[in-house]
A = this chain, B = another copy of it.
Amino acid sequence: MPALELFELGGRGGRRYSLFSWRARLALAHKGLAFESRPVKITDKAAIAFSGQKRVPILRRGETVVSDSWRIAEFLEQAYPDRPTLFAGPGGQALARFVNHWTDRVLVPAVGPNVAAAIPGCVEPDDAAHIRAGFEKGFGRTLEEMWAGRGAGLERLNATLEPLRSLVRERPFLGGEAPLYADYIVASPFQWARIVCAEPVLEPDDPVAAWFERVLDLHGGFARAEPARAGAA
């Protein structure tokens, strides 16, 4: 079997900060699969031209190339059926897609403005300019305005978390007693926030924070091994 390679955004000092990358990383860890990380810059499209498209993460195994975090999870489930399941059945796979849409359309936009100003300091200058332009176009505000509005931004995030909070008050993981890929989808913006921004987005007594700590502990502390951003944002 050829080695697994994960092409993913790389920042300064080897940081792996992409939230979509963390979905793939945690899916790989869940399956107990070793992989080689291939960091690429956002602005280096030549490095991923082999994939026939322009976005990371991309998983490569010999001749097989899979891009998009969701399709990587589906590929891993189908290619490694004897490893721990990411979906726990077809219903779990179908509804994880709802969790994916909720995360991308509701949760990520609620986390983003609270950490965006901290991202340029984590990446090389050309990627920093690209990220600034992307956020400022997407949210219609400068990064500095987002940071200044962080109080309201955290309140909005707090309200957004209500359905997740209700769930993790009842049980340890979205998957129930044990995690599923849905947990990694939802954890990904919090891991992104943890890596890029020294100022937390969750109150320590929030049940969502306790759930996220449980995710950080999984697979031998796989996600915790990526250091949190230190110092002031």
Chain A positions near chain B (C-beta within 8 angstroms): 85, 87-99, 101-102, 104-106, 162-164, 166-167, 170-171, 173-176, 180, 182
Contacts and interface: CB of A to CB of B under 8 A. Distances in A.
Contacts of A95: 91-92, 95-96, 98-99, 174-175, 180, 182
A88 B176 CA distance: 15
Given A93-B176, A98-B98, A105-B162, 10 more contacts: A88-B89, A88-B91, A89-B89, A91-B182, A95-B98, A97-B167, A97-B171, A101-B167, A102-B102, A105-B163
Contacts of A164: 98, 101
A105 B170 CA distance: 15
Contacts of A167: 97-98, 101
B90 A182 contact: no
A162 B91 contact: no
A180 B90 CA distance: 11
A162 B106 CA distance: 8
A163 B89 contact: no
A98 B176 contact: no
Given A89-B88, A89-B89, A102-B102, A94 B180 contact: yes
Contacts of A174: 94-95, 98
A131 to B, nearest CB: 24
5 contacts: A90-B92, A93-B176, A94-B174, A98-B164, A106-B163
- Interface-centre pick from A92, A99, A176 (highest chain B CB count, 10 A): A92
A99 B95 CA distance: 8
A166 B105 contact: yes
A170 B90 CA distance: 16
A195 to B, nearest CB: 25
B90 A176 contact: yes
A171 B70 CA distance: 15
